[in-house]
Amino acid sequence: MARVTTPAGDQPKAPTMGAGAVLLALIPLLLLGGLIAMLVVTGAGLGNRTAPPIEELTVDRISLPAVDQMVVEVTNGGADPVTVAQVLVDDNYWDFAISPGPEIPRLGRATIAIPYPWVQDEPHHVVLISSNGVTFEGEVAVATRSPQPTAATFGQYALLGIYVGFIPVGLGLLWYPFLRRLGRGGMQAVLSLTVGLLIFLLFDTMAEALELIATTPGVFGGAPLVFLVALLAFGALLAVGGAGKGRDASKLGVAYRIAFGIGLHNLGEGLAIGAAFALGEAALGTFLVIGFTLHNITEGIGIAAPIARERPAWWHFVLLAALAGLPAVLGVWIGGFIYNALLAAVFLALGAGAIAQVVYEVGRLIVRQSREEGAPLLSPATFGGLAAGILIMYATALLVAA
Amino acid sequence: MADRTSLTRRALLGGIGSLGALGLAGCAAAARPQVAAPPAPASGAMPGMDHGGTTTNLGNMLQGDVDPAANGFDPMAMLTDFDYGTVSTLPSGQTLREYTVYAADKVIEIAPGISFPAWTYNGRVPGPTIRCTEGDRVRVTFTNGSTHPHSIHFHGFHAAEMDGVTPVAPGEQTVYEFDAAPFGLHVYHCHVPPFMRHIHKGLYGTFIIDPKTPRPPARELIMVMNAFDTNFDGANEIYAVNSVGFHFTKHPIPLKVGELVRIYLSNFTEFDPINSFHLHANLFNVYRTGTGLEPSEFTDVITMGQAERHILEFTYDRPGQFMFHAHQSEFNGLGWMGIFEVTEDGVASAPFETAARLGICQLT
C-alpha cells in the first residue's frame, strides 16, 4: 500500500543556524527595506500621480432590521480611501448615518444606517455616491424584515439545520445494517456510489465557493483564494491522515473523515439556507427543506459504506451523524445572522478540500479491494456505483430551489 | 411655527412608531433635543395646517451643506445676481454694455460632499446672467482659460459671425458683438462638439433682454434647472435649480406676502428630454420665452425641453412655506426641490437640516 508521507517527517534534520546564517537571510530583507524607502521618498521616478483615484467599494450586505430601517455594510477593496458623500435609495437621496465615518480606508469596512420606508416583498436599490461622484450599487431582491438573533429565531434556525443536516445523514446511516448484508461486489458498488456522491458534492461546493467569492472585493484574492484554500485543506488532511504512522488507516477513521468533509459541506449548505432566509429569498421554505433533506440522505450511505465490514459501537453512529449533520445548524446561524460572503467562500473551499481528501481515501479503498480480488478497477459495479452516486445527487439537487 | 413643526414631527414619529419601528422612533426621539426651532414669523398660520411643507420630506434629503464661499458661487445669491455689464454710450447715442466672460475648468461641489469636474463660465455654473435692454449694443469679450476649445452661442438676433459656433482655442480670446433683440428671456451656451459634454459639464447661462418699457417692478429670481452626471454614465445623479441639489429646501427662498414674484426660468438639463417646474398652493402666469408682455397661460406646472425658458409671475397672498419642484418625481428625489418661505416681512427662517430634525437612527 502506498503510504502518504508528510514532508516534515522525511526531512533531514537541518544544521544548526549560526549568527552568520541569520545575517545572510537578513541581507535581502535589509536591501528590500532600503528599496521601499527609496521608492516612497522618490516616488519611483514616475512623477506625481495625476489620475483620479480609482474607487472600489463593495456592498457586502443589506439588511432590514426593522420597519423603516435599512442597514448597508460595505468594504473598500480599492487602493485608495473612499468617502461616502451621499446615499440614494430607489433614486432618492436619503438621510443616513455611517459608522465609523464617511471616509473608509483601504480594506476598511463601514455600516450605513438609512431610515428608509422600505416596502414589504418589493425590491429596493441602494446607490452610494463617493466624494468624486462615483456610484456603488447594492440590491435588496425581496424586502422582508431581517431575522434578529433572538432565542426564538435561534431555535427555529437550529431546527432548520437539524432538518437539512442531522436528520437526513442519520437516516442515511440507518442503511448500515443493509450495507452489512452486501457481498463484496455490492460493497464495491456502494463505495463507488459514495465516491460519486462525494465528487458531485466536491464540484457543487467549489461552484458555490466561486460564486460567493465573485461578490467579494477582488483584493482578497478572488477565485485563486478558493482553489488555494481547497488545495491546502486537501493537503493538510492528507498530512494529518498519514501522520498516524504504523497504525493502518482504520476504516472508522475514513468514515470520520468523510463525515468531517460532509460536515463542512453541510456548513456551507447551512450558510446558503440561512442567508436565503435572511435575505427573504427563500420563499419556498418548506420545499427547500424537503429538497435538502432528500439531497443529504445519501450522504449517510457515504459515511456508512467504509465501515460496513466493521462493528463500531452504536455511539459512533450518533457521533458521525452529528459531525456530518450538525455543522448545518451552525451554518444556518452564521448565514442568517452574520452573513459574510468571504468567510462563507473560505468555509466552502475548506469543505471542498476535505471532500477531495475523502474521495482520495475511499478511492484507495476501492482500488485496494479490486486488487485483492484481481478484479478490474472500472467494473460495471464500480462505474455503475459512481455514475449512480452522481446521478442521485444531481436528481435530488433539482429539488433544491434556492 | 415652532409648535407647528414639532407637532408635525411628533405626528410623523407616531406614524412610524405605530408601524413598529420602535428602534427608529426611539432614536428620533433622542435626537429631538438637538432640534433648533426656527424663529416664528410675524404672523403664523394655523397649527397643523399643511403648508406644502418642509416636514413632509421624511428622510429624502442630502446630508450636510455646501459651503458657497469654498465653492465660489452661492445658489441663493445667483437668484438675484444680474450682470448689467460696463455701461457707456456710443457716439450714435446707443447704449454700449461690455461684459467679460472667461471659460475655466473647475471642480465644483454640486451636492454636499460630491465634487464634479465642471467647465465653467466665470468659475460658476450656471454662468453669469447677462442682462441688457432691447436695442443696446452688447459686447462680450470671451477668453478661453480652459484646456478645451469653447465658445459662447447666444440665442437671439445677431450676425452669422457672432453666432458662437466657431471654437475658441484654449488661451485664445474673441469678441461677440450685436444689438440686443428681440426682448425676452434668452440663454447662452457653449457650441463646441461634443455638445452633450460641453453642456452637461456646465457651460450655459441666462441672457435677459428687457423690453424698452420695463416690466412692472417685482422680486426677480433667476433659476436655471440643471443636472449633473457625476459618474459619466449618461444619466444624471443630481438635479437642481442653480446647481446645488436640495439647496432651496435647506435654505428656503424668502418672499413677502403680496409682492409680485418674477422667475426667469430656463432648462439646461442634459440627458433627460424634459424638466418641469411646479408651484405649490398657487398658480403662475407664463410669458413664453419672455417675448411678449401678455401672459399666455395661467397654470401651476410648466414642462420644458433643453434651452426652453419662460418668465413666470405669481404672488402669494398668505404666509407659509410652499414647495416648488419638478413634477418628475424622480427629479424631486434626486435634489430638484425647493421651498418658498412667504412671510409678512420677507425674512426667511433659519436654514434647517432634516437629519437633525428627524434624527438618524444610529445602530448600536
Do B177 and B97 form a contact (C-beta atoms < 8 A)? no
Which amino acid is present at B255?
Answer: L
Distance of alpha carbon B249 from alpha carbon B336, whole angstroms: 9
Find the closest chain B residue to A132 by CA distance.
B115
Degrees, nearest 5: CA angle A15-A20-A26: 105
B59 in reach of chain A (CB within 8 A): yes
Which residues are registered as beta bridge partners of B154? B188
Degrees, nearest 5: CA angle A107-A109-A111: 165
Say what the alpha-carbon torsion angle B268, B272, B274, B279 is, to the nearest 10 degrees: -80
DSSP strand pairing (B337-343 vs B253-256): parallel
Distance of alpha carbon B105 from alpha carbon B120, whole angstroms: 6
Closest CA to A264 of A340, A209, A314, A311: A209
What residues in A contact B61, CB-CB < 8 Å?
Answer: 93-95
B24 in reach of chain A (CB within 8 A): yes
Q: Which of A132-136, A320-324, A347-351, B223-227 has the highest mean pLDDT?
A: B223-227
Which amino acid is present at A261?
Answer: G
How far apart, in Å, are the Cα atoms of B188 and each of A193, A351, B66, B204, B209? 78, 66, 26, 6, 12
What residues in B contact A83, CB-CB < 8 Å?
Answer: 113
| CA dihedral (A47, A48, A52, A53) positive or negative | positive
**Sheet of B309-315: strands edge to edge?**
B238-241, B219-228, B260-267, B309-315, B284-288, B297-299
A149 in reach of chain B (CB within 8 A): no
- Domain A57-140, CATH number (from 2.60.40.10, 3.30.2350.10, 3.10.450.50, 3.40.930.10): 2.60.40.10
Least confident of A206-220, A221-235, A246-260, B126-140: A246-260
Q: Which three cell numbers stand for residue A178?
A: 443493509
At B310 the three-state DSSP class reads: strand
DSSP strand pairing (B82-83 vs B137-144): unpaired
Min Cα distance B215 → chain A (Å) is: 39
Do A83 and A137 form a contact (C-beta atoms < 8 A)? no
Distance of alpha carbon A207 from alpha carbon B301, whole angstroms: 55
Which of B24, B229, B358, B361 to mutate to probe the A interface, most A CBs <10 Å?
A: B361
Instruction: Find the length of chain B.
Output: 364
pLDDT tens digits, residue range A148-206? Answer: 788 888 898 898 889 888 998 899 888 888 888 888 888 888 888 888 888 988 898 89
Do B221 and B323 form a contact (C-beta atoms < 8 A)? no
Which amino acid is present at B24?
Answer: L
Do B71 and B108 form a contact (C-beta atoms < 8 A)? yes
Fold of B68-343: Immunoglobulin-like (2.60.40)
Give the domain ranges of chain B.
2-59, 68-343
- One digit per residue, the tens of pLDDT, for chain B of length 364 reads 333 333 333 233 323 323 333 333 333 333 333 333 333 333 333 333 343 444 456 688 888 889 898 899 999 999 999 999 999 999 999 999 999 999 999 999 999 999 999 999 999 999 999 999 999 999 999 999 999 999 999 999 999 999 999 999 999 999 999 999 999 999 999 999 999 999 999 999 999 999 999 999 999 999 999 999 999 999 999 999 999 999 999 899 999 999 999 999 999 999 999 999 999 999 999 999 999 999 999 999 999 999 999 999 999 999 999 999 999 999 999 999 999 999 998 776 655 443 333 333 333 2
Q: What is the pLDDT of residue A141?
A: 83
Q: Which three cell numbers stand for residue A368?
A: 485496494
Burial class (CB in 10 A: 0-12, 13-18, 19+), B114: buried
B354 in reach of chain A (CB within 8 A): yes
Distance of alpha carbon A51 from alpha carbon B298, whole angstroms: 51
Instruction: Find the length of chain A.
Output: 402
Which of A86, A129, A130 to mutate to probe the B interface, most B CBs <10 Å?
A: A86
B60 in reach of chain A (CB within 8 A): yes
A50 in reach of chain B (CB within 8 A): no
At B155 the three-state DSSP class reads: coil
